[in-house]
């Protein structure tokens, strides 16, 4: 079974700088494919802080049905970067 989620979330982090505090939103897509009953692998794409993209490959282990542990190696790409 394939599951695709669109998950909007409000980032609660505040950044301080010369212009005061700034609040930002992040929006993303998340996908998980269960390989076994307890283990899953997926993909994550998120646009954060209005200026950078984040990509990750989450691996999940379900301890019990409502609880899972995730490890997601990934990378960020800030707008204006060429890499």
Q: Does the residue 32 lie in any domain? A: yes
Q: Does the residue 83 lie in any domain? A: no
Q: Residue 12 has what pLDDT?
A: 46
Q: Residue 22 has what pLDDT?
A: 63
**Helix or strand or coil: residue 57?**
coil
User: Token digits for 33?
Assistant: 């494919």
Q: Residue 40 has what pLDDT?
A: 94
Q: Does the residue 60 lie in any domain? A: yes
Structural domains of the chain, count:
1
Full domain range(s) for residue 33? 4-12+22-78
Q: Residue 28 has what pLDDT?
A: 87
The pLDDT tens digits along the chain (83 residues) read 444 444 444 444 555 555 666 666 778 888 999 999 999 999 999 888 777 888 999 999 999 888 989 999 998 877 666 55
Q: Does the residue 17 lie in any domain? A: no
For residue 34, count other CB atoms closer than 10 A to its CB.
14
């Amino acid at each position: 079974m394939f599951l695709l989620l669109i998950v909007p979330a409000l980032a609660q982090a505040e950044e301080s700088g010369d212009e005061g505090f700034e609040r930002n939103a992040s929006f993303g897509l998340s996908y998980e494919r269960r390989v076994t009953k307890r283990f899953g692998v997926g993909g994550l794409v998120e646009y954060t802080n209005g200026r950078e993209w984040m990509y990750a490959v989450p691996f999940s282990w379900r301890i019990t049905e409502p609880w899972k542990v995730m490890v997601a190696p990934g990378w960020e790409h800030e707008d204006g970067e060429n890499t």
